[in-house]
Chains A and B, each alone.
Chain A
């Protein structure tokens, strides 16, 4: 064997993380253990970027640190309206106004923060960094994309198997497949796209067109 299985596993993991950074596709949720009078909270280490924050089901809005300081910050205690991302290091958020109540985090074996717990918790939804074991890239593209990433890295590595021409070709294939991945993503998962009005929505999802008599007795 030219490359050990641990080398291949290492490249698989870095490839998976690099691809997830290039195209945010994995989401996860974290229940924040809120303490009264405490503004700042650490987030999990696998947070790539925050996608959504809800307080007992109500959306909170991101506030850049510069604008936060423009508020001429006075210590107000109530239900937060805003959150300030990354204010004290990479993976933290600060709530503003400062929370006046404590809200327990939701843990347990079957953590499902996508369902009935939403009205009871403070939830941060975030784009997640995969670990290649429990969290992986979408199954429909993972195998082919990771294959080219691992090959380009293996052939570029110093040692017996080094072949820079092959590495360059594999990089070309990898970049091409990243393009395909982006295309599939934008064709099918329109929820992440900003749209101005309704007219410029793209992708295969569109409201079905129904008969003008649809729903009347005898009509289907």
Chain B
């Protein structure tokens, strides 16, 4: 699997810049990191889990609790052994006007408020217990010998992104467009693939909307 430095070598070869000081190593590394950040959030290819404590609060600041949090996929209450049921905030409003202060039990329902906050209700005022959050993560910072957390056959995306980005930097837009097209065509295919992982192995269910990713 290619490391960041090996990807950088390929990028410089694409640009016919090996051994030439036209692009600095920080230019190349930043372009690769930008590509990595983008592929991670566009495709959701890095999925993790973390456990948070149930607190006396309606909204949880996920970015403070989980630094590489990007978006929630599911949440599991380890005390009640139930999945949190996610819905729209507007649906909560139609159920009861004071849902933000609904207290007394372990959280059962959830809603995404924005990229930072999720709401979990009811609130447990004497808070105990934990919730496991399954989430899509942002990309970690790549060091020189790190390999990206991307499927091995798609790691070339970072090379294409960085090549296009550096050609833009040199104002070679027509050449850059060729690489951008290649990159975006493939990254969208990869996004679809991530959504369909193991799809063929799921049991058929009625109303399979949950898998329409």
Q: Would you call A35 an interface residue if the criterion is a C-beta within 8 Å of the partner chain's C-beta atoms?
A: no
> Which of chain A's residues has its CB closest to B38's CB?
A144
A116 to B124 alpha-carbon distance, docked (Å):
11
Question: For A57, what are the chain B residues with a Cβ–Cβ distance below 8 Å?
Answer: 98, 100-101
On whether A195 and B88 interact (CB within 8 A), knowing A140-B70, A188-B112, A204-B71, the answer reads yes
In Å, the complex CA distance between A118 and B70 comes to 26
Within the assembled complex, what's the spacing in Å between the Cα atoms of A143 and B63?
17
Query: A205 to B42, Cβ gap below 8 A?
Result: no
Number of A-B contacts (CB under 8 A): 112
CB distance from B61 to the nearest CB of A (A): 7
Does chain A have a CB within 8 A of B192? no
> Which residue of the partner chain A has the closest CB to B57?
A115
Tell me whether A205 and B73 are in contact (CB under 8 A).
yes
Q: How large is the interface on B (under 10, 10 to 19, 20 to 34, 35 or more residues)?
A: 35 or more
**B71 near A115: Cβ-Cβ < 8 Å:** no
Give, as a whole number of angstroms, the nearest-CB distance from A199 to chain B. Answer: 7
Q: Does A189 contact B (CB under 8 A)?
A: yes
Q: Are B210 and A209 in contact (CB under 8 A)?
A: yes
Chain B residue contacts of A72, Cβ below 8 A: none
Determine how close the nearest CB of chain B comes to the CB of A186; give it in whole angstroms: 12
With A25-B114, A59-B93, A139-B138 as contacts: A207 and B44 at CB distance below 8 Å: no
Closest to A200 in B: B209
**In the complex, which residues 29-77 of chain A have their Cβ closer than 8 Å to any Cβ of chain B?**
54, 56-59
